[in-house]
Chain A
Amino acid sequence: MSILSFCQWLQFTGFFTAIRGSWYVYPAIMSTHLAGIALFGGMILAVDLRLLGVALRKRPVADVVNQLRVLKRIGFILVATCGILMFGSKAEEYYYNAFFRTKMVVLSLIFVHALVFRGSVYRRAAEFDNTGRIPGRAKLAAALSLLLWTCMIIAGRGIGYIEPPLEKIHAMIPPVRGAAGF
């Protein structure tokens, strides 16, 4: 089974056909996706800015990193779930979308970032408080995190700007009043 045929099968399941058929469910999922980015993206920002030493400077690094960890994970699950729901309802269209593919590459780089820096930075925040200085690798991790998440926003917004190759799409795309995007 190729990725394309999987996408075609997925979007024609009853569940995703129903999402596609409603005028408000898809935008509501997209809104939840964006609201999740707003609510929980701020926590990624707070952790990164603390590691860079530009925000929450009077608060211990370990406090900021450790206390926001669980909420960040809940936020990621919420945002990713909405993303999967949007993808599933128009899987074939997303499959052909260059910005979507780019976004998935960036997302996998974010997982690599987590694997690389979890042990060396995020689990050792208390050490930075004890020594009183934040090492270069922690600042590098924070800067790369901000860069990668900015790329996620750019690629995510870009998805709406690519016209689907209608001759290749099998699912009916409901007509949308107004331009793509906001």
Chain B
Amino acid sequence: MFLAEANPLNASELIFPTLEVIHIAGFAVLVGTIAIVDFRLLGLGLRRQKPAEVARDLGPWTLIGLTMVLLSGPLMFSSDPDMYYLNRSFQVKMALLLVAIVFHYTIHRKVSLSEAAGFGSKAVACISLALWVSIVFGGIFIAFV
């Protein structure tokens, strides 16, 4: 059994807020770089570049952001696993996160790297934006439900 008290993360008051800051900065990098691609697919922002160029250039930064949240998130979870596990908002967030990551590296990747533009790519951009924004809501509401 996992005891929150036995977790060295709970030894210092500064560790959890530091993880939170890494988590926020991380999702700003993660979601921010994806959003630039999504806005481009919607015909906003970097319009003089091709979506594939933007997606290729920012891909490594998306991965840096994803690494930041996937390192800080589970560490925060481990500080109080029972609370998170039972939290409705956390459960929804994890389900959406799984969908978003799979969606990003399959359909979203294929559409943003292809030359074709049209209704399909705009729909993919909207779904992507909606998924990531919902995950941010899910994260905040953990403390309020």
Let me know if B35 and A181 touch, CB within 8 A.
no
Contact-size category for B = 35 or more
Q: Which of the residues A45, A150, A158 comes within 8 Å of B17, measured between beta carbons?
A: A158
- Interface segment, one of A10-18, A27-35, A111-119, A165-173: A27-35
The chain A residue sitting closest to B62, CB to CB, is A42
Given known contacts A42-B35, A43-B36, A177 and B144 CB-to-CB distance under 8 angstroms:
yes
**In this assembly, does B92 line the interface, its C-beta being within 8 Å of a C-beta of chain A?**
no
**In this assembly, does B44 line the interface, its C-beta being within 8 Å of a C-beta of chain A?**
yes
The chain B residue sitting closest to A37, CB to CB, is B28
CB-defined contacts of A182 to chain B, threshold 8 Å: 20, 23, 76, 139-140, 142-143
Let me know if B57 and A56 touch, CB within 8 A.
yes
**In this assembly, does B97 line the interface, its C-beta being within 8 Å of a C-beta of chain A?**
no
**In this assembly, does A132 line the interface, its C-beta being within 8 Å of a C-beta of chain B?**
no
- Interface segment, one of B103-111, B118-126, B129-137: B129-137
Let me know if B32 and A153 touch, CB within 8 A.
no
Given known contacts A35-B133, A42-B36, A59 and B144 CB-to-CB distance under 8 angstroms:
no
Alpha-carbon distance A64/B140, docked complex (angstroms): 31
Given known contacts A68-B45, A157-B20, A182-B20, A23 and B32 CB-to-CB distance under 8 angstroms:
no
CB-defined contacts of A153 to chain B, threshold 8 Å: 21, 24-25, 28
Distance between B99 CB and nearest chain A CB, rounded to angstroms = 17
B residues 4-58 touching A (CB-CB < 8 Å): 17, 20-21, 23-25, 27-36, 39, 44-49, 53-54, 57-58
**In this assembly, does A180 line the interface, its C-beta being within 8 Å of a C-beta of chain B?**
yes
Let me know if B17 and A31 touch, CB within 8 A.
no
**In this assembly, does B3 line the interface, its C-beta being within 8 Å of a C-beta of chain A?**
no
B contact set with A: CB distance below 8 Å:
17, 20-21, 23-25, 27-36, 39, 44-49, 53-54, 57-58, 61, 76, 83, 87, 129, 132-133, 136-137, 139-145
> Can you name 17 A-B pairs with beta carbons within 8 Å?
A27-B141, A35-B132, A38-B28, A38-B35, A38-B133, A42-B34, A42-B35, A49-B61, A55-B57, A56-B57, A57-B57, A68-B45, A71-B44, A71-B45, A161-B17, A177-B144, A182-B143
